[in-house]
Amino acid sequence: MVSKASSEPSPAARVSSFVLLAIFVMLVVAIMALFLSYGAYVSGNYDVAAALIIIGFIGVAASSYVLFQTRQRLIRLRIETPPITTTIECRKCGFKTVREFQRGDYIFKEVDVCQKCNEKMLITAIYREVREKGRKPFPF
């Protein structure tokens, strides 16, 4: 069996409908406050307009943040399975092939016959590649 490169979402990762409803209500109220602030501004009530615009922006920011955090939790709740590569090499002519890891592979296992010289080929490497996310190196 080929090792799976992706992983399934977890059942525990579901967000409760109450939290979603609360976020939604907060967002609606915040947007309403923004509309009302525009109305207050047009009617010359600048103090109320300022208060409502601040409330509106804080509401939109807070609900977006909570939504973002919930999404982050969903992403984090997965067991990452990185792709593993198997290198097969012919010891006689040096012909090399690289493929995805298959269950039953192990280092120094004799596998297929070489396409070039008909000799038995050997698994010489099994490893995973890790791509470091663009982090700045520390100066020390």
Partner 1 sequence: MNIALMFTVLYSQLFDFPGWDIFSQVLMYAIYIFIFISLFYGQRLQFHIWLKEVEGSLYKLKYIRDEGRRIAIEAIREIGKPQTDPTPRVDRFLEYFTITPQSLDPAGIVWKLEHILDVRDARFKDEVKLLAPSADETQVNNLENTLEAAMALNYIYKVIRHYFLLGKKTLSLYIIMQIQMILPLVMREAEAYASALKAFAYGQPIGDGVGALVAAKLMHGYPVRKVPKDCVVATVPIEGRTAYVIKAEGPGGNVGKPGDAIKTIIEENEGKIATIIMIDAALKLEGEEVGEVAEGVGAAIGGPGVDQFKIEETILKYRIPINAVIIKEDIGDAVSPMRREIFEAADKAIERIKQLILEKTKEGDKIIICGVGNTIGIAQ
- 97 contacts 108 by C-beta, under 8 angstroms: no
Q: Decide: is 10 part of the binding site for partner 1 (CB under 8 A).
A: yes
Residue closer to partner 1 by CB (options 24, 46) is 46
Among the listed residues 18, 76, 134, 136, the single contact to partner 1 using CB under 8 A: 76
Among the listed residues 43, 58, 81, 120, the single contact to partner 1 using CB under 8 A: 81
Q: Decide: is 18 part of the binding site for partner 1 (CB under 8 A).
A: no
CB atoms < 10 A from the CB of 90, how many? 21
- 117 contacts 91 by C-beta, under 8 angstroms: no
Question: In whole angstroms, what is the distance from residue 135 CA to residue 18 CA?
Answer: 37
120, 99, 93, 98: which is closest to 108 by C-alpha?
120
Q: Decide: is 5 part of the binding site for partner 1 (CB under 8 A).
A: no
Question: In whole angstroms, what is the distance from residue 19 CA to residue 5 CA?
Answer: 32
Q: Decide: is 96 part of the binding site for partner 1 (CB under 8 A).
A: no
Could you list the residues that contact partner 1 (CB under 8 A)?
Answer: 1, 3, 10-13, 47-48, 50-51, 73, 76-77, 79-82, 84, 101, 103-109, 125-130, 138, 140
